[in-house]
Structure 1
Amino acid sequence: MKSPHSLDKNPKFYSHPLLKKDLIEWRDYQVEISKIASNQNTLVVLPTALGKTIVALLTLVNILEKAPKSKIIMLAPTRPLVLQHYDVFQKFLKPEIKCCLFSSNLSPIKRTFALNGNQIFFSTPQIIQNDLKAGLYSLEGIGQIIFDETHKARKKYAYTFVANQYLEQNLHPLILGITASPGKDLFRINELCETLQIEQIIFRDFDSPDVKKYTFGINSIFKKIELPNEILKALLILDTAVHKIRDFMFSHEILPKRNFISKFQFIQLIQDLKLMDTLLDPYTTDEDLERYGLTSNYGRMNFPHLLDMFDKKKNDKIPNKSRILNQAINGIYLEHLKELLTTQDIRMFRNYLQKLEERALEGNKRIKRLLNSKYILGAQNLLNPIKKSPKIPVLLEILKNEFLENPNAKIIIFTQYREMAKFLIKELNDFSTNSCQIRAKRFVGQATKANDKGLNQKDQKSMITDFSTNQFNVLVATSVAEEGLDIPSVNSVVFYESIPSEIRLIQRRGRTGRHQIGKCYFLVQSNSLDEIYSFVSHRREEKMHELLKHPKYINTVPKIKRSDKLPEYKFKKLEHIKENYRKIKENHGVNSVKKIETLISQNSDKKKSSGYELIQDITENLTLESKKRIELSKSNKTKGKEKLFLTKKTFTWLISTMGCIGSIRGTKLYCDLDDLYLAAKEEEMDIIKIEKEIQNGITKKMFEKTNNFLISTPIS
């Protein structure tokens, strides 16, 4: 195949006027895909390691060559992935192609002005969404938007909003979606095609004829591990307790009868029980339902039949909601204990029980009853002789053989939990011998959890560099290493536990087999979730491949009618941008006043006669609570330590702003967090301080947070 910019019969590198010479290796399938994606909305499905980013780059330069006055936006779901794309594109593009990194550190005015002097923009979708909602700029001059990890374009995720705006505003839209898995089933794939108006799906796997010559293959090795008798007996006891809860749910028709109930179904049930308070609240309006992503036909309910069951107008005998809730919570605890026992390690099982015991000592009677039940006590007695998971010796044997075969090998071990990663690091480093030098490090996300500090982006990058340069040879990683980080190819990958997601299976496995034949080990314990999840993830991958190879049931859209005139971004003077931004801020203030007046009118017949009264009541409660805490602080001589409560000024701003841009239901204020942060930015407030104050308020139960909404909670 020939490219207009590569006339050699068998070119070694891809050549293009906008790219640096002799850097991008020629691959037929990448060139072919980029040609198609340069002319229509395309969903590209490639396994990890087949070069999705290069496909995006080749497509992008084709479009910039055709429409040099247009702009390109490259979106990714996380900041580390955005930074990675920015670095990769800078490496391959010629210096005259100007790239710009959008972040919250760049003010709205600077972001808008940056559109004048740059051609390619890298951002998370939330930033673009907020800018569009504020009216800072339009997308009519954008030649293409690239959505990385496209499978996230569902429901209320920002990808959906940005795509809708682009398709509405642009007369010549071009969308490129790149992912390793568009969805687990036909419904998800069709939903994605509808959201992004996909005209063409292109799929390749490692067995595709035009891909084979560039890949080395991956050998999947399943290690079946038998559970000790003590664990099997303890598992049987815990199963008996779970079956008792299942029988209760089935007999009262709370849950539909099925052979397998996981903790996920119990979580869904609890979500429904909480959601019903909103749906059955007589004060809930259609506007409330629409604002919070609900519908009048209760489309968000996992088990819709519960609404009729708990509706006093339709049912005289209302079930005991508290009892159902307690049973569901116990079901989650028991299922989680089973998972830790059979897929992780006995030490994690015992640590989790210890955490539950601490909560019982704090006064939680339900947990205390559960811990004192014959099921938990019986399981604990049986497990006393067990010291560690039977997976550990198998894992050590795998590493020993790998390093005997290749002393310079690099290996990634994926595990679900940080705590398990800690145990593995100790086991591996203690195992090192003269013939098997294991140097292992733990790789986790940025979030800091209880007694477990996360890794910031700088530390993550430094650790990846050390791994690349053989400073250590085993990376024990949580899900943070699955996507969004430029981790080098390794000789082998080990799945410490199985996962049910096909996308995570593809991403983890794709870390090996890039430069030589790779190995992927699966540690599967019998009679555990490992067996179920392993089957589910591999079956979902097979079904997805079947759909993509024979896409007759996939509903791509007909060819979109595009304008003959290619997109062209119109230069905006800085003074015009500033004037527009000033008007936006003024309009926001006017709209806020109107919003309060509307809220007062709408809620005049409710428990609180106005938004102002509600704000005043909550603030007064805060003041009383603050005084109590100040006295307590003085008596305990804790002056100078971290504040135990929000400042009244910040709290009042939060409540008043929530009243302006949110809505009132009953005695609570509801506000979308994205809207709240946007308001803070527009008023030039310290976002980091606002986030800390919100988190502090949640910790002190002044606020609740659910589904990206902040909810005020009057203090008792």
Structure 2
Amino acid sequence: MNPKLTKTSIVFLLIVYLKHDFIKPDSIEYREYQVNIAKTCLESNTLVVLPTGLGKTVIALIVIASLLSRKCKILFLAPTKPLVNQHTAFLKQFLTLDEDEIVIFTGEISPDKRTKLWKETKIIVSTPQVIENDLKNNRISLEDFCLIIFDEAHRAVGEYSYVFVAKKYKEQRKKDRRILGMTASPGSDIDRILEICENLEINNVEIRSRYDKDVRPYVHGLTIEWKLVELPEEFNRIIMLLSEVLSEKLGMLKTAGLLETAALSRISMRKLLEVRNIIQDILENNVLPSKEMYKILMAHTIALKTYHALELIKTQGATALRRYFKRIQSETLMKKGNNASKHFIRDRRVIEAMLHLKKLDVEHPKLKVLSEIVEDQLKKNRESRIIIFTQYRDTALQILDQISNIKEVKAARFVGQTTKVEDKGLSQREQEKIIRKFKDGEYNTLVATSVAEEGLDIPSTDLVIFYEPIPSEIRSIQRKGRTARKMKGRVVILIAKKTQDEAYYWSSVRKEKLMYNQLKTINLRLRGGKAKIDDLYPKKEQQKKLLDYM
């Protein structure tokens, strides 16, 4: 059923609304790219890749409305409870169905009641784990569902519940099944993209960016800038001492044949984590004598700790490093304390670095630059909404303390639910309360960790600040998508010169470009009928590990 249009003129702007029997009148703005994408979603299983704020949920709404006249059910999956609640409220707000025909499935509902609701309800919105458990216990079947929507579809890899649900859907509904996957970014790794497509039976990819011709009329201007800062000379001694420790441990790993180079400039956290996987394989197969293996394992664990300490002082500052050292010291005092932590903290160079750090009264220059940006923004526009993203909770505390001295700032810290040592997480209710106050203007600035990147219904802002770049193109796209949704937006990325910040920034830029190229290539070949997902690219040969040569 193709949506028809009606036009309404409001304050000199011509707003065209979708007209559909199952969509409430004068409620959803007509956007050509959304309607066109929805049409293709009705024809074939489709992965929709749109930046945050361009209306993936509206596309889902159009697809749902177009299928409601059929005698079938619809399942809408999302990875978190807040997202499930958000999608349910959206569907109830804009569909003409009775509200009791749209039901949330949670683990709190008794199994018997879930079974009853499953049979009686038209649209079910749920986390995938609840559906997976009920499928495994044979309480439900997907036989009557003509559509399953997988929100944040980039999660449909490995052992995640999306994979199981999609497999069962194929088994239980032999024909006339439709899948809609939605994500802001599936990542740039071709194997991962193809795995998502294979798991969800995708045979069409719809990708748009804010710069595409059919999208540009509906988006606001977005400027992206970066501010470069110099590390203070007072950090140099600490960096030198920790670099000596790291270099020594990398040399041991190189001698053991686990690294090709021990050069600090060629080592990344990703490389060190790859080495950890190799060591775990060796331990499982007991290839090396335990004493020698213990030394290698110890060297690797200390290398990881030292690398992280260096990253903290270079990109976060002295306070973040102090808190990190304090946590390691606490680990050593525990009965089953980590031996690597004990060896690390007793190293004379680490001790000297800690003593130097104790006397240091200089903070990271990013804090001063950040304060100036925030203060300037709020002086220009008191109604501004700002989100400051940072990787670390410790840094979020420090930023909150720093900007709270600015007269115009009304700030809140926004972190996840997990409670860590000396740092209590926020419950879902507390998160919702902060978001509500941010919407209402009681707060004008959020200092957030990754929890604000995906899924939560956070209102659009006119300024997003990256306290540090991140190498993940998925997270970078999600962060940038928090601005320029209903107004002009600005993204500012803080970068400490000659640190991991520079590498991470260019890594995310490269990966984002690669992702769009990979997706467009996949779609061209799928639409041309030249290949199926399985045949698009040869599978990568698994990298050989140390064990393969022993």
TM-score greater than 0.5 by the shorter chain = yes
Aligned 8 A contact 2:239 2:310 in 1: yes
Partner of residue 209, structure 1: 213
* Aligned Cα root-mean-square deviation (Å): 2.4
How far apart are 1:183 and its partner, in Å? Answer: 2.0
> Are the structure 2 counterparts of residues 174 and 364 from structure 1 closer, same or farther at C-alpha, using a change threshold of 3 Å?
closer
User: What is the CA–CA distance in structure 1 between the aligned matches of 2:287 and 2:429, rounded to whole Å?
Assistant: 53
Do 2:241 and 2:349's aligned partners in 1 also have CA atoms closer than 8 Å?
yes
Per-residue CA shift, 1:499-540, capped at 9, x if unaligned? 111111111111111122200010100122111111111111
Q: How does 1:127-526 map to 2 (within 5 A)?
A: 127-170=130-173, 171-257=175-261, 260-278=266-284, 280=285, 310-311=286-287, 320-362=292-334, 366-383=340-357, 384-432=359-407, 437-526=408-497
| Contact 2:384–2:462 (8 Å) recurs in 1 | yes
Question: Of 74, 80, 83, which aligns to 1:81?
Answer: 83
* Residue 43 (structure 1) aligns with: 47
- Aligned partner of 1:647 in structure 2 is none
* CA distance 1:138–1:359, shift in 2 (3 Å): closer
Distance 1:270 1:551, change over 3 A: closer
CA shift, 1:130, in A, is 1.0
- In 2, are the aligned partners of 1:203 and 1:549 still within 8 Å (CA)? yes
SS in 2 for 1:323: helix
Amino acid at match of 2:294: S
CA distance, structure 1, for counterparts of residue 495 and residue 512 of structure 2 = 18
SS at match of 2:493: strand
Task: String of CA shifts for 1:274-296, please: whole Å, max 9, x gaps.
Answer: 45555x3xxxxxxxxxxxxxxxx
CA contact (8 A) 1:194 1:557 kept: no
Residue 547 of structure 1 deviates from its aligned partner by: 2.2
TM-score normalised by length of structure 2: 0.89
Could you tell me which amino acid in structure 1 is paired with residue 287 of structure 2? D
Alpha carbons 1:198, 1:557 under 8 Å: kept: no
Task: Determine whether 1:99 maps to 2:102.
Answer: yes
Q: Structure 1 residues 50, 507: closer, same or farther in 2, change over 3 A?
A: same
Percent of pairs identical after alignment? 38
Rounded to whole Å, the distance in 2 between the matches of 1:180 and 1:244 is: 41
Look up the match of 1:123.
126
Cross-structure match for 1:90: 92
The separation in 2 between residues aligned to 1:271 and 1:560, in whole angstroms, is 35
Kindly provide the amino acid, as one letter, of the partner of residue 341 in structure 2: I
Structure 2 residue 522 is the aligned partner of structure 1 residue 551 = yes
In the comparison of the two structures, how many residue pairs are matched? 520
Aligned equivalent of 1:27: 31
- How far is 1:245 from its partner? 1.3
Change in Cα spacing, 1:155 to 1:554, as seen in structure 2 (3 Å) is farther
Q: Classify 1:202/1:364 alpha carbon distance in 2 versus 1 (closer, same or farther; 3 Å).
A: closer
Tell whether the 8 Å contact from 2:375 to 2:406 is kept in structure 1 after alignment: no
Q: Deviations over 1:397-425 (max 9, x none)?
A: 10121112112211010111122111111
Q: Could you tell me how far 1:342 is from its partner in structure 2?
A: 1.2
- For 1:52 and 1:187, the matched residues in 2 are separated by 24
User: 2:548 maps to what in 1?
Assistant: none
Contact 2:5 2:16 in 1 (8 A): no
- 1:386 deviates by 3.5
**For 1:346 and 1:493, how far apart are their aligned partners in 2?**
24
Q: What is the SS of the residue equivalent to 1:101?
A: strand
Structure 2: 5+ residue stretches without partners: 9-13, 533-550
Going from structure 1 to structure 2, the CA distance change for 1:448 and 1:95 (only over 3 Å counts) comes to same
**In 1: Cα distance, 2:21 partner to 2:526 partner:** 37
Secondary structure, in 3 states, of the residue corresponding to 1:222?
Answer: strand
Structure 1, unmatched stretches of 5+, are 281-309, 562-716
* Alpha-carbon contact 2:411-2:447 (below 8 Å) kept: yes
1:689-704 alignment, distance < 5 Å: none
Cα 1:327/1:402, change in 2 over 3 Å: same
**CA apart distance, 1:478:** 1.0
- The CA deviation at 1:224 is 0.3
Query: 1:255 offset after TM fit, Å?
Result: 3.0
Residues 275, 112 of structure 1: alpha-carbon distance in 2 compared, 3 angstrom cutoff: farther
CA distance in 2, matches of 1:555, 1:5: 30
Distance in 1 of aligned mates of 2:355 and 2:385: 40
Deviations 1:363-389 (A, max 9, x none): 665434432323213433544334321
CA-CA distance at 1:311 after TM superposition: 3.2
Q: What letter corresponds to residue 72 of structure 2 in structure 1?
A: S
SS for the counterpart of 1:121 is strand
**Residue among 17, 22, 25 paired with 1:13:** 17
- The aligned amino acid for 2:151 is D
Q: How has the CA–CA distance of structure 1 residues 365 and 463 changed in structure 2, closer, same or farther, with 3 Å as cutoff?
A: closer
Deviation at 1:148? Answer: 0.3
Q: 1:275 to 1:78 in 2, by over 3 A?
A: farther
- Shift, 1:252, TM fit: 1.5
How far does the alpha carbon of each residue in 1:334-359 deviate from its partner, in whole angstroms, 9 at most, with x for none?
A: 01111111111211101211222233
The CA distance in 1 between the partners of 2:325 and 2:489, in whole Å, is 39
Partner of 2:546: none
